């Protein structure tokens, strides 16, 4: 027994309580602790605080919590379908919390942190379960540090062919990820699924990336096909709105979702999957689809899966629409399109190429012979700027220029080319001209003139950068008013362009209404390519039927089932939505298929 220690027999001693008298006049210390402010470490892990304006409701904090102390609770005041955000917010149960701070370290928005507050007095158990807010932000403790965070902030780059090499011909500029890089990049995914709200097709991104990480590629493709039958295409050229909504992008590089999708598609043979997707039972009804672009193919795929007979009418020699005839092959090669199309054909969709509705078969006959018709003709006509001399020799519409190149036609490329426009199509036209000039002249002289400033150009940042790397000069804030002699002509041929500096792009109400200065600047050119937008061609629809179709401007109006004002006639894709990208057209195709199924049922 230790020296100085007295053992008392509680059962036998009657005077033991008197020994407590010696402590009667000592200064108490324990009762003051809840009432005194104690100095603690600057990185102390006390109660949580959450900047609710920055919180995106991803739920990563709840997923990682080792004690299940965090519950994501829906806030009815928040919007349901906001890209990159969910309407849930974390509630903490301090009866369970072990103050490990893993939730703070994994928070991609940095909204969640811990304070140096650690005292809480209440006799009500429910008071220890609440939603942290900004209270305590002025007494910060543990904060997430990107340098020591448990997730990786930097994306693995995809190797792209150097500019001096890639501009020599139309070879594909990137092969995407290697196996090692794909698995490493997939590991960055936190499966929070806020990216899904950014995807127009609402693809189950977290689910298929998890399957990629575990190298279950066939499972990954099957998950993709639930919402997108053209995953090979979208793994190559998608506008990847999902990446813009990625939670990690708030503090680092977004996950490279597009390239992960493209990598998975390359690992799988579609023949086996096609057999599994073939309908088990025929519905006995048939649908005509006008247009073999992304929207038409998507609609046909989902209708066929459910047992409907589907005929796709495509006027061009190859199916794919603008995917095949509007995007250069160095960005989207034919074999990628072909793999996706073969899957759609192999489940039983009948594709009729070289058949033009309104010429080889009438629109009225389709209405009579089919139970439903889906119009997915896209935007095939290039819009003109309205300048004088647009019909001169050497003036091209970008959609025609790119289409003829993809069809293998011999284009006499100019020695000095000017592209009018600041969008992705303008960049495609300029980069295509670069390759043609290199193959014919061995040097580049291409300029892009656009009304917008660099920060306002609608083209993707990476597209602009790659275009400039290939030797294209981009001149922002330059254009020509309608009716002015912007296109300079001599002997009926283009000899140059007269530009006017842009004073303002929009009027006081914020509407697009360019205003120009009076001074001019002249540029030499023997070829001008206009890339200022596209419009539809409804010439295949008889006028008496067109008059019955409700429109908003030139866009067809549809109801919640994607049906036009004519019973049994549906429409979708670029002739209805304003987003003008492949994934949105694909989403329309699936939604229209579901509407057609409801109508036919």
301-347, pLDDT tens digit by residue?
999 999 999 999 999 999 999 999 999 999 999 999 999 999 999 99
pLDDT, position 17: 67
pLDDT, position 3: 46
pLDDT in tens, 377-426: 999 888 888 888 999 999 999 999 999 999 999 999 999 999 999 999 99
Distance CA 10, CA 467 (A): 90
pLDDT, position 75: 93
Distance CA 347, CA 34 (A): 71
Q: How many other CB atoms are found less than 10 A from the CB of residue 409? A: 10
Quick one: DSSP state of residue 156? P
Distance CA 327, CA 336 (A): 12
Distance CA 573, CA 591 (A): 10
User: Does position 249 have pLDDT exceeding 70, yes or no?
Assistant: yes
SS3 annotation, 278-296: CCCCCCCCEEEEECCCHHH
Instruction: Please answer whether residues 302 and 590 qualify as being in contact, where contact means their C-beta atoms are separated by less than 8 angstroms.
Output: yes
SS3 440: helix
pLDDT in tens, 185-206: 999 998 898 999 899 999 999 9
Q: What value does the CA radius of gyration of the chain take, rounded to a whole number of Å?
A: 32
Percent over 90 (pLDDT), the chain: 75
SS3 400: helix
Count the helices and strands in the chain (H runs, E runs): 19, 24
pLDDT, position 2: 44
Position with higher pLDDT, 3 vs 141? 141
SS3 587: helix
Over residues 529-535, mean pLDDT: 92
Whether this model's pTM surpasses 0.85: yes
User: Does position 14 have pLDDT exceeding 70, yes or no?
Assistant: no
pLDDT, position 125: 85
pLDDT in tens, 565-581: 999 999 999 998 888 89
pLDDT, position 5: 47
Distance CA 257, CA 209 (A): 8
Average model confidence (pLDDT) for the chain? 91
Distance CA 186, CA 153 (A): 13
SS3 annotation, 84-128: CCCCEEEEEECCCCCCCCHHHHCCCCCCEEEECCCCCCCCCHHHH
Distance CA 288, CA 265 (A): 28
């Amino acid at each position: 027994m230790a020296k100085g220690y007295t053992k008392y027999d509680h059962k036998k001693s009657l005077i033991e309580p008197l020994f407590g008298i010696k402590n009667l006049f000592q200064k108490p210390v324990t009762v003051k602790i809840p009432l005194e402010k104690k100095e603690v470490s600057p990185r102390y892990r006390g109660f949580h605080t959450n900047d609710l304006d920055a919180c995106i409701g991803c739920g990563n904090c709840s997923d990682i919590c080792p004690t299940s102390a965090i519950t994501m609770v829906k806030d009815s005041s928040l919007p349901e379908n906001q890209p990159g955000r969910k309407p849930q917010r974390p509630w903490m149960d301090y009866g369970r919390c072990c103050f490990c701070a893993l939730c703070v370290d994994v928070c991609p928005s940095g909204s969640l942190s811990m304070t140096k507050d650690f005292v809480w007095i209440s006799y009500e158990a429910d008071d220890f379960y609440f939603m942290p807010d900004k209270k305590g932000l002025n007494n910060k403790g543990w904060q997430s540090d990107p340098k020591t965070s448990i997730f990786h902030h930097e994306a693995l780059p995809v190797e792209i062919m150097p500019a001096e090499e890639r501009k020599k011909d139309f070879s594909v500029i990137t092969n995407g990820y290697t196996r090692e890089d794909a698995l490493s990049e997939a590991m960055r995914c936190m499966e929070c699924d806020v990216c899904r709200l950014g995807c127009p097709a609402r693809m189950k991104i977290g689910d298929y990336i998890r399957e990629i990480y575990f190298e279950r590629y066939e499972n990954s493709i099957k998950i993709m096909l639930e919402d997108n039958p053209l995953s090979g295409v979208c793994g190559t050229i998608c506008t990847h709105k999902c990446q813009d909504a990625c939670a990690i992008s708030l503090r680092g590089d977004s996950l490279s979702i597009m390239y992960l999708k493209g990598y998975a598609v390359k690992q799988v043979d579609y023949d086996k999957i096609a057999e599994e997707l073939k309908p088990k039972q025929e519905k006995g009804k048939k649908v005509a689809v006008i247009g073999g672009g992304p929207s038409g193919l998507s609609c046909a795929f989902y209708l066929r899966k459910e047992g409907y007979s589907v005929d796709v009418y495509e006027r061009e020699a190859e199916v794919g629409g603008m995917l095949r005839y509007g995007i250069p092959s160095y960005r989207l090669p034919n074999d990628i399109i072909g793999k996706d199309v073969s899957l759609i054909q192999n489940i039983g969709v009948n594709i009729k190429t070289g058949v033009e509705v309104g010429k080889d078969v009438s629109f009225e006959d389709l209405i009579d012979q089919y139970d439903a018709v889906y119009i997915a003709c896209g935007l095939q006509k290039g819009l003109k700027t309205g300048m004088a001399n647009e019909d001169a020799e050497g003036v091209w519409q970008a959609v025609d220029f790119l289409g003829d190149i993809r069809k293998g036609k011999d284009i006499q490329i100019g020695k000095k080319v000017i592209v009018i426009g600041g969008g992705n199509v303008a960049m495609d036209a300029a980069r295509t001209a670069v390759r043609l000039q290199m193959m014919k002249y061995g040097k580049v002289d291409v300029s892009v003139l656009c009304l917008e400033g660099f920060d306002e150009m609608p083209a993707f940042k990476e597209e602009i950068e790659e275009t400039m790397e290939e030797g294209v000069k981009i001149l922002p804030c330059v254009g020509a008013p309608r009716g002015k002699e912007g296109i300079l002509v001599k002997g009926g041929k283009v000899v140059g362009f007269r530009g006017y500096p842009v004073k303002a792009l929009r009027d006081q109400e914020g509407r697009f209404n360019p205003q120009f200065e009076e001074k001019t600047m002249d540029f030499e050119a023997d070829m001008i390519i206009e890339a200022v937008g596209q419009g539809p061609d409804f010439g295949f629809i008889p006028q008496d039927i067109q008059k019955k179709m409700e429109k908003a401007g030139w866009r067809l109006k549809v109801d919640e089932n994607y049906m036009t004002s004519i019973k049994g006639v549906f429409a979708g894709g670029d002739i209805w939505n304003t987003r003008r990208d492949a994934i949105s057209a694909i989403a329309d195709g699936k939604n229209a298929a579901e509407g057609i199924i409801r109508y036919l049922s």
